[in-house]
Amino acid sequence: MRHKILVTGGTGYIGSHTTVQLQQAGFDVVIIDNLSNSRREVLDGIEAITGIRPEFVEGDCTDIETLRRLFREHPGIDGIINFAASKAVGESVHKPILYYRNNLGTLLNLLECMPEFGVKGIVFSSSCTVYGEPDKNPIDESAPIKAATSPYGNTKQISEEIIRDVITSGAPVKSILLRYFNPIGAHPSAKIGELPLGVPQNLVPYVTQTAAGIRKELTVFGDDYDTPDGTCIRDFIDVNDLAKAHVIAMKRMLDNPDGEKLEVFNLGTGRGLSVLELINAFEEASGVKLNYRIGPRREGDIEKIWANPEKANTVLGWKAETPIRDTMASAWRWQLTLSNPNEKQPS
Ligand code: UD1
């Protein structure tokens, strides 16, 4: 029988790429999204890629009655992938209540509904931010959780604890926590990608918007870190690789009723790339020279962090395999599509 999956935040960046992978793997998908940070047209992009339009409910997961109605109207949902969350680190410092309400309220409501409607498993989007500044790299799942440096990061830590406590209480649900490193890029078709509203906070959308002439220049936040070229190091992972891991995690939960009730995996490439190395990769992939300057450090930035993804590699049988050049090329194709929606881009 085909599994039916609820994808919360499914019109968002990672949610839309995961919906594509789920549909291509034969899952039926119901999306709920309040469109606070995404657009309805994303559904057209998903349909153009897969030939299937996912069921869509416009609604807010912080309202439990909206969720109950959804489960009643879409019976037979087996699993949930929870992407519905606010994710801007800086904004969370200024609007902590919004972040705790959105991110924790959504999770609590989903966990409350799961036994009521017989939903067996939930995949949760966590983040490498739970590790803080690592004592050593690459970092594996046994590394200590450090005090959060922002309300956003704290919601990820608390969410992991909430899920752990609910499972310990004997609730008939399973969960896989996925700790993402830095997801970047777009679908190779350039029909879906990242849609930052306003000025992008993250590196890659800022890079592509600068290259497209929407922003004057990119500021590299600091070149005096203790790294080979002085800029911060991250583990940039292609969003399509990341999306595939969710499909595997969901199958693992649903197909092994006697399997572990709670598991956690790092999702990264295992390779650290500096900000300057990423810019070089972009310039090579796009053929565009990027206008950037070195500026002061950004408050709260981690100096260097990259994953040890061995557990995901061996236990899930999953590996991030897209070369950085291809990822940067997809990010650029997507930017060109956004800038010139009527022009067909080279594939
Ligand atoms: C941050 C969060 C991460 C969260 C993600 C989602 C931390 C430690 N990390 O990732 O948990 O999931 O945001 O939004 O809180 N940079 C520039 N110029 C720019 C933008 C970025 O130089 O204009 C640099 C940053 O200083 C950093 C790197 O690029 O070194 C990556 O930054 P960004 O894309 O914002 O991601 P993180 O801060 O790693």
Q: What angle do CA 50, 193, 325 make, to 5 degrees?
A: 105
With a 6 Å cutoff on the Cβ, whether 15 touches ligand 1 is no
CB of 279 closer than 6 angstroms to any ligand 1 atom: no
Q: What is the pLDDT of residue 340?
A: 77
Residue of the CA atom closest to atom 9 of ligand 1: 129
Protein residue with its CA nearest to atom 34 in ligand 1: 202
What are the beta bridge partners of residue 262? 175
Report CA(316)–ligand 1 centroid distance (Å). Answer: 27
Q: Which atom of ligand 1 lies at the shortest distance from residue 206's CA?
A: 23
Query: What pLDDT does 257 receive?
Result: 87
| Total-model pTM | 0.97
Indicate which atom in ligand 1 lies nearest the CA of residue 278.
Answer: 29
Q: 123 near 81, Cβ under 8 Å? A: yes
| Residue 288 CB less than 6 A away from ligand 1 | no
Q: At what angle do helices 13-24 and 239-255 cross, to 10 degrees?
A: 60
pLDDT the model gives residue 197: 85
Instruction: Assess whether the C-beta atom of 298 lies below 6 angstroms from ligand 1.
Output: yes
Distance 150 CA to ligand 1 centre (A): 13
7: Cβ below 6 Å to ligand 1? no
DSSP for 285-311 reads: HH-----EEEEPPPTT--SB--B--HH
For ligand 1, what atom is nearest to the CA of residue 88? Answer: 14
pLDDT score of 347: 47
Nearest CA to ligand 1 atom 13: 89
For 7-41, write each residue's pLDDT tens digit.
999 999 999 999 999 999 999 999 999 999 999 99
Q: Is 167 in the pocket of ligand 1 (CB under 6 A)?
A: no
pLDDT at position 219 is 98
> Is 152 a known active-site residue?
yes
Q: Which of 13, 99, 152, 206 is catalytic?
A: 152
Instruction: Read off the tokens for 292.
Output: 């950037």
What pLDDT does residue 345 have? 52
Residue 286 near ligand 1, beta carbon < 6 Å: no
Q: Cα(121)–Cα(86) distance, rounded to whole angstroms?
A: 22
Query: What is the pLDDT at residue 71?
Result: 98
Low-confidence ranges of the chain (pLDDT < 70): 341-347
* pLDDT for 339: 84
Atom of ligand 1 nearest to the CA of 207: 23
